[in-house]
Amino acid sequence: MRKFKTLSGKLTEVAQAEVDSLVSALRGSVHRDGEPEFDEARSLWNAMVDRKPALVIRALGTADVRLAVDFARENNLLMAVRSGGHQIAGHAVADDALMLDLSNMNSIHVDPRARTARVEPGATLGDVDKETQAHGLAVPVGVNSTTGIAGLTLGGGFGWTTRKFGMTIDNLISADVVLADGSIVTASNDQNADLFWAIRGGGGNFGVVTSFEFQLHPLGPQVLSGLIVHPIEQAPQLLREFAKIADTASDALTVWSVLRQAPPLPFLPDEWHGREVLVFAACYTGPISEGEKAMEPLRALGEPIADVISPHAFVDWQAAFDPLLTPGVRNYWKSHDLETLPDGAIDTLLNAISGLPDPACEIFIAHVGGRMAQIGPSDTAYPHRSSHFIMNVHTRWEDSAKDDTCIAWARQLFDDMAPFATGSVYVNFMPADEEERLSGAYGANRDRLAAIKARYDPENLFRVNHNIEPAISDVAAQ
């Protein structure tokens, strides 16, 4: 039996009889090193993360989750929780930990009359989009269909429809949560309201969510969307125009800027493959005819290499970037929130693009705001409602020999962009080496989160995450 790591970091053995008792009680399965399911569970989207838990529990329902939590608590074991396995820091797995894998809990039930969906934590964004779009409905989620719904939601969640419908957390009605003491509670505005507030942006710090209930919105089945590709030489002026369009766009229009080397896309002439380009990715979440008018200023900019804006099935658009975000590649991200995009920031970005360390590296500037900005900063744990742009230095490569070069490039660009940034950060974009940025992630909400953590997880059982430590009460401190 492999030894387990305790909450204090020491290694310990658990009696085989206790493990056998756990196995017999589970509906799901238990897997050890050497089994295919073990390696499948511990393999994450970010190939830089290669860790081995002591034991993997693949849960099939809430009862299994409670058994796993009880087992970890009673034996004082470090526990990691995996849903989609996409989190950039790799917190879904930890060496020698008890790993709770939720990926088999992936059912989705849509109520088209109430316009709600009940979603289990192992579902991917692609799963959610397909089921909701079968009824012409959608919940705002991210832009990579293989991302897990749980991690995205607990961190906040934004994508193409956020400006129109708000963040993922703004559309969360309720959640069922297994707490550190093994109790099962519902969190909503009416029940355990403080917990409901905390899980909307506070990550997996407060328990294991076994079911999400979302509000849905009519959308699709087609949206006007696509890419406009420009030579990088046009980027200085075009990015200034992009910032102006972002300032005046209707909430139904979202435009993201991407700076990278052109991939071998079929609509790009061969001579442009591998050359630096500026890409505008746009989506209009309203009638196609209105979208045509709304995108006219964007499409009139410069002399593009290609313009492939057209009606697309929303589920296809949601997966359009999947080929550039495949699993099994090394990833390191650095992110800033920006309220404006001044000339100095544009110059800094373009200087970095001239020295890309790998063809798969890119910088994207997400255009947010709209409905997202109409929520108060203290209404949810995610506080950064005034950000107009979210920059992600999305560094990707395959050869481990390039680790130092790629990471150094990302860090340098991050430092160079700091004078133009707000100092805040989206927690889902934080790599493992940014724990000091938790204050930037939660701002004035951090103390309240620590107090709620002390109420629901005083021993910090759920610590394999961007961790919010429990507040120490005045009595305990004496």
Average pLDDT, the chain: 96
pTM for the model: 0.96
Model pLDDT for residues 453-477, shown as the tens digit of each residue: 999 999 999 999 999 999 986 434 3
Report which DSSP code applies to 158.
-
Residue 1 reports pLDDT greater than 70: no
Task: State the DSSP H helix or E strand holding residue 164, giving kind and residue range, or none if neither.
Answer: helix 162-165
Residue 174 reports pLDDT greater than 60: yes
What fold does the segment set 222-431 form as a domain? Vanillyl-alcohol Oxidase; Chain A, domain 3 (3.40.462)
Residue 94 reports pLDDT greater than 70: yes
Interior/surface letters 9-25, b for 16+ CB within 10 angstroms, e for the rest: eeeeebeeeebeebeee
- CATH C-level class of 4-101: alpha beta
State whether the Cα torsion 282-287-288-293 is positive or negative.
negative
Over residues 302-326, mean pLDDT: 96
Instruction: Using pLDDT thresholds of 50, 70 and 90, give the confidence band for residue 25.
Output: very high
Cα separation of 398 and 163, whole Å? 34
Over residues 124-145, mean pLDDT: 98
Between the alpha carbon of residue 73 and those of residues 6, 180, 456, the distances in Å are: 10, 7, 13
Tell me the one-letter amino acid at 184: I
Give the DSSP letter string of 379-401.
TSS----S-SEEEEEEEEES-GG
Q: Where are the domains of the chain?
A: 4-101, 108-218, 222-431
Task: State the DSSP H helix or E strand holding residue 25, giving kind and residue range, or none if neither.
Answer: helix 16-25
Cα separation of 105 and 43, whole Å? 18
- pLDDT number for residue 380: 98
- pLDDT number for residue 284: 98
Residue closest to 366 by CA, chosen among 312, 397, 431, 321: 321
- pLDDT number for residue 475: 36
- pLDDT number for residue 477: 38
- pLDDT number for residue 189: 98
Model pLDDT for residues 47-92, shown as the tens digit of each residue: 999 999 999 999 999 999 999 999 999 999 999 999 999 999 999 9
Q: In this structure, are residues 134 and 118 in contact, taking their beta carbons and an 8 Å threshold?
A: no
Between the alpha carbon of residue 53 and those of residues 5, 14, 43, 109, 417, the distances in Å are: 9, 14, 11, 32, 37
- The residue with greater pLDDT, 2 or 254, is 254
The residues pairing with 254 across neighbouring beta strands, listed in sequence order, are 283
**How many percent of the chain have pLDDT more than 90?**
97
What angle separates helix 235-248 from helix 343-353, to the nearest 10 degrees?
130
Between the alpha carbon of residue 106 and those of residues 60, 178, 421, the distances in Å are: 9, 17, 37
Between the alpha carbon of residue 455 and those of residues 101, 149, 355, 378, the distances in Å are: 25, 26, 48, 19
Beta strands 98-101 and 172-178, pairing class: unpaired
Task: State the DSSP H helix or E strand holding residue 58, giving kind and residue range, or none if neither.
Answer: strand 55-58
Instruction: Using pLDDT thresholds of 50, 70 and 90, give the confidence band for residue 272.
Output: very high
- pLDDT number for residue 472: 85
Residue 17 reports pLDDT greater than 60: yes
Residue 125 reports pLDDT greater than 70: yes
- pLDDT number for residue 387: 87
Q: In this structure, are residues 139 and 170 in contact, taking their beta carbons and an 8 Å threshold?
A: no
- pLDDT number for residue 473: 65
Neighbour tally for 474: CB within 10 Å: 7
What fold does the segment set 108-218 form as a domain? 3.30.465
